[in-house]
Structure 1
């Protein structure tokens, strides 16, 4: 079994339009995937936004606190530690005492600079703060002792910190308060506020307050973000597990079932039971079940067809072999002529069988290869019947059967969605079958009418009719029933079977019935083709 694929442009069709991105309205699974992943993302975004706002608020609150405290200290220093008239200046001793008296939190540092940027007082010094750090390993006896050295990176970091402090003091010397964050010599993030100490309009110095708990605030923020991260990870994990169970595992089971058929050559595929699901995988499972059932039926039909072909071909071959074996031992010219006639008849019968079998075997491929188009059935029947009329000329063919067409509404097109070549083959088969059963100088009548949104085409003859028990079996493959006096082997028995297969592929129906007169006697046969009207 082969699958034929073709580009739409090659078949005369327009390429399918590109699908734009859109919300999966009819996809429950798609909505579930999007909702779960968006939920996890929203949790993280909300947590980040909330904590960023909290961080900004804490830093601003610390700046406001340091500014209020610094303005108070600067006012006190201006009032109590300013000496000199008319050129005032700060008294370092008084300013140092003021810093010692005023309460400075352990996490804060206050430094006082004069008008030239020189340090006059440092809260770490007046408060007897002791800085500590881990000592390097002890030297072994005899080793030269060397002072602590800083790496180039540490020296560069310290220089950048000193420059940042100097820039902040220089801006405060211009008479404005400077607030913000910067990095200290130890690499610690600081919230710093530099307030100018002014006596009237003269800037006597700068008071700098620093809070070194910014890293602690950031660590606390990160710790506060941890629950959001955990919730987001749990949501993503749950969504991943659901996607795995709802999509990955069923698809894997479907793939394993297909591999089982491929590796073991099984006729039918045992699919996992997903038909109860009302999503895309449920639709896929049901489609695969229908597809495998259809393929299994087609394989059974192919096997039956092959068996029927072998049986039908075997009969003329047996007859040919018997005639050939007898021909060598028969000396009578008349008998030899009869044997040669039998051989000729069997060869013709075998040729018809091979031709019809070839057409039947290619039918599925032709139906799938040719796309359906809008077809005017009035025009098609006119062309088909005109071919039979063209073969007959008055006086040249005595005893020939004529074909007459009758259209109920020839002025309006009878449109169907079909493939022209197979539909034309259906009516040629029906007309040929009717002609073969019609008496000499008889007539085959073809008609077309409309009824309840359907197009009804009928082919009638004046033959002996069809036995009531065979009205359905005549559509089976290789079925032939001939009246007495008809030549055996004149038909292959595939014409009506092919006709039904083509009509059903186009969503139509075909059946046979007997024509009867007023007394109920059979006066001929009628084949009725029912096709959907594309305009209905």
Structure 2
């Protein structure tokens, strides 16, 4: 519907207003909340990921360090066993199993490690667990009375133990076979108790002859890795806390404000209110504040448009009642007339009122569709020189004898604005029609186009009686008419200049009226000036 300001307020992109808050360049992707959410999520993930990486590196470093340490010890023991005479037989040397076992018993003190020696056939020769007081494994269960069958859980435990033992022996056999083939081994495998151990196996040599296999194991890897897993717990708890805190902050600063905005919008709808106001949200400097301010501005714009529609409906009702009242009075009087002259006068009055009513309905229909037309068409660059020249050419080609002529003058530089050529053409036609209606027969209406300060200026001047000083602003009100003597009754609805101002303000411009004065201070006619922001300024 028609509104003097609603369209301009609803389309700030075209008005060029400076009230729109500037976009902050430091916002992540144009969004402060987006950066805040991303930072919180990344922080929690980085904490957990960093802790996992740290522990993985420690695990790999622990295994590698143990393997290097065991390799050094195994090389030392192998050299001693191969070079210190713990061999027999010439020319083919053999490992003296008794001397080797005694030497290991006297010189190797196990500290969380286990050393085993195998002969050339892969048969065990010595085991450090057999020469130490340490007894591996868990304590034995209490003795059962004679003849009591073992519980089912004991059977399952014995089966599991047997399976572990079989697997450990199989993996160890494969490792010894590879070493006897001449390849040193560094592996991580399971022992008889199912624990993970770091194992290093190397051949025992005399010169180049392989005499046996020396295996060195470190069995506290699971304990260290378990401690590392326990060390991961604080990282996980911190990550969980950050996620919980982030979720709470998102709920407080995003979810709840959006819910409040939704509830306020529903309240406007249910209570038929005309405005929404959430002052504490409007003070925020993020997108929630922008949304709250936009919603408040939207409801204010809708309220202003509803007020404008109500005023427009009241004005329309008042203007239509006048010709309808005149028509009803003439129809009531028509049966009472007695002469043809009186009947002709009433008939002429009826025809004038019908023409006036038709003109009113046509202009009211155009005004009511104006907002929809302005919002439907997409703004684009419009060259005013071409538009005004074409409009003036139409007046020149359709002029009748005695009609005021229309002249067009433009500066050297073309003037372009961003807008809709249809409504802008209606602005200039309404102003030219208004100027022609006030100009004397044979007069001239002049149209000037110029540009300055990133603005396009259009002046339309006539040679009429001018405008009373008190009505320079009133002429833009709806249904205001002040026609010269002799003008056809009902030929003007008083909506032309109102439509002009509405379209111009919707394009971010302004329009005003003034009188042309000569040197003696006499009125020479009226001047209407339209100022529109140029296309360069809109960009």
TM-score range, shorter chain: 0.7 to 0.9
Structure 2: state its 5+ residue gaps: 2-25
Moved more, 458-467 or 419-428: 458-467
The alignment partner of 2:284 has SS state of coil
User: In structure 2, what is the equivalent of residue 371 of structure 1?
Assistant: 378
Shift of 1:473: 0.9
User: In structure 1, what is the equivalent of residue 522 of structure 2?
Assistant: 521
The alignment partner of 2:232 has SS state of helix
Shift of 1:71: 3.4
- Contact 1:194-1:206 at 8 Å conserved across structures: yes
The one of 324, 332, 336 equivalent to 1:329 is 336
Please tell me whether residue 279 in structure 1 is matched to residue 286 in structure 2. Answer: yes
Change (3 A) 1:206 1:442: same
User: In structure 2, what is the equivalent of residue 435 of structure 1?
Assistant: 436
| Whole-angstrom distance in 1 between the partners of 2:146 and 2:360 | 110
The alignment partner of 1:328 has SS state of helix
User: In structure 1, what is the equivalent of residue 395 of structure 2?
Assistant: 388
Shift of 1:319: 1.8
User: In structure 2, what is the equivalent of residue 105 of structure 1?
Assistant: 110
Shift of 1:503: 1.2
| Whole-angstrom distance in 1 between the partners of 2:136 and 2:88 | 32
- Deviation track 1:84-134 (CA, whole Å, cap 9, x = no partner) reads 333333344333333333444363222221111112222333335253367
The alignment partner of 1:489 has SS state of coil
Which residues in structure 2 correspond to 1:129-278 (within 5 Å)? 129=135, 131-132=137-138, 148=155, 158-278=165-285
- Contact 1:385-1:403 at 8 Å conserved across structures: no
- Contact 1:445-1:459 at 8 Å conserved across structures: yes
The alignment partner of 1:181 has SS state of strand
- Contact 2:459-2:529 at 8 Å conserved across structures: yes
User: In structure 1, what is the equivalent of residue 125 of structure 2?
Assistant: 120
Which residues in structure 2 correspond to 1:282-293 (within 5 Å)? 282-293=289-300
- Contact 2:198-2:218 at 8 Å conserved across structures: yes
| Whole-angstrom distance in 2 between the partners of 1:221 and 1:142 | 44
Moved more, 227-236 or 349-358: 227-236
User: In structure 1, what is the equivalent of residue 74 of structure 2?
Assistant: 70
Moved more, 194-203 or 90-99: 90-99
The alignment partner of 1:459 has SS state of strand
Change (3 A) 1:71 1:381: closer
Change (3 A) 1:534 1:65: closer
| Whole-angstrom distance in 1 between the partners of 2:57 and 2:161 | 33
Instruction: Give the TM-score, by structure 2 length.
Output: 0.85
- Contact 2:404-2:440 at 8 Å conserved across structures: no
- Contact 1:139-1:145 at 8 Å conserved across structures: no
| Whole-angstrom distance in 1 between the partners of 2:278 and 2:202 | 79
The alignment partner of 2:200 has SS state of strand
Moved more, 425-434 or 521-530: 521-530
Please tell me whether residue 311 in structure 1 is matched to residue 318 in structure 2. Answer: yes
| Whole-angstrom distance in 2 between the partners of 1:252 and 1:143 | 69
Instruction: Give the TM-score, by structure 1 length.
Output: 0.85
| Whole-angstrom distance in 1 between the partners of 2:143 and 2:442 | 127
| Whole-angstrom distance in 2 between the partners of 1:482 and 1:243 | 65
| Whole-angstrom distance in 1 between the partners of 2:151 and 2:472 | 119
Shift of 1:67: 2.7
The alignment partner of 2:280 has SS state of coil
The alignment partner of 1:273 has SS state of helix
The alignment partner of 1:371 has SS state of coil
Please tell me whether residue 84 in structure 1 is matched to residue 89 in structure 2. Answer: yes
Which residues in structure 2 correspond to 1:28-47 (within 5 Å)? 28-47=32-51
Q: More relative contact order in 1 or in 2 (CA 8 Å, sep 6+)?
A: 2
Shift of 1:495: 0.2
User: In structure 1, what is the equivalent of residue 98 of structure 2?
Assistant: 93
- Deviation track 1:221-277 (CA, whole Å, cap 9, x = no partner) reads 112222222333333333333333332222222222222223332211223533333
Q: Which structure: greater helix fraction?
A: 2
Structure 1: state its 5+ residue gaps: 2-21
| Whole-angstrom distance in 2 between the partners of 1:407 and 1:462 | 17
User: In structure 2, what is the equivalent of residue 508 of structure 1?
Assistant: 509
